[in-house]
Amino acid sequence: MKFSKALIELKITKMKALNIIGFNSPVWWIAFYGAIFAKVLPVGVYSTSGPSACEYIATHSEVEIIVAENRIHLKKYLKIWDQLPALKYIVLYDDTVPQNLPENRKD
């Protein structure tokens, strides 16, 4: 419920998508059900997907927020962020945020 409330606080549009990329874990399920409780559509992305597959899924699901397991997945989305006009946030779990993020991607 805390994650759901966080999505609502971030003003994620109802019935827009949240993409989740990472291995099956409690956090994956928290993101999935938190999205549902916030009336946001959870879309799972294979952890083996490359940047082009991630872009395809994110574009067609009109993603506003991405929940990524680690820096490996974060890097995929940093490469394509400019092609995703609806993307507002990337949430990283099970890893620390790298210090060398581009200035326009911090916060």
Q: Which helix (H) or strand (E) holds 21?
A: strand 17-21
Which contacts of 95-104 are long-range, i.e. CB under 8 A and separated by 24 or more positions?
95/69, 95/70, 95/71, 98/71, 98/74, 102/78
Residue 104, in any domain of the structure: no
Residue 73, in any domain of the structure: yes
- Using left for φ > 0, alpha for ψ between -120 and 50, and beta otherwise, residue 41 falls in beta
Q: Whole-prediction pTM value? A: 0.88
Cβ–Cβ < 8 Å for 77, 54? yes
Residue 36, in any domain of the structure: yes
User: How much is the average pLDDT of 40-52?
Assistant: 97
Q: Which two tokens stand for residue 103?
A: 């200035």
Residue 7, in any domain of the structure: yes
Task: Give the count of domains, the chain.
Answer: 1
Residue 67, in any domain of the structure: yes
Residue 101, in any domain of the structure: no
Q: In which domain, by residue range, is 52 found? A: 2-95
pLDDT in tens, 64-100: 999 999 999 999 999 999 999 999 999 999 888 777 7
Residue 23, in any domain of the structure: yes
105: pLDDT strictly greater than 90: no
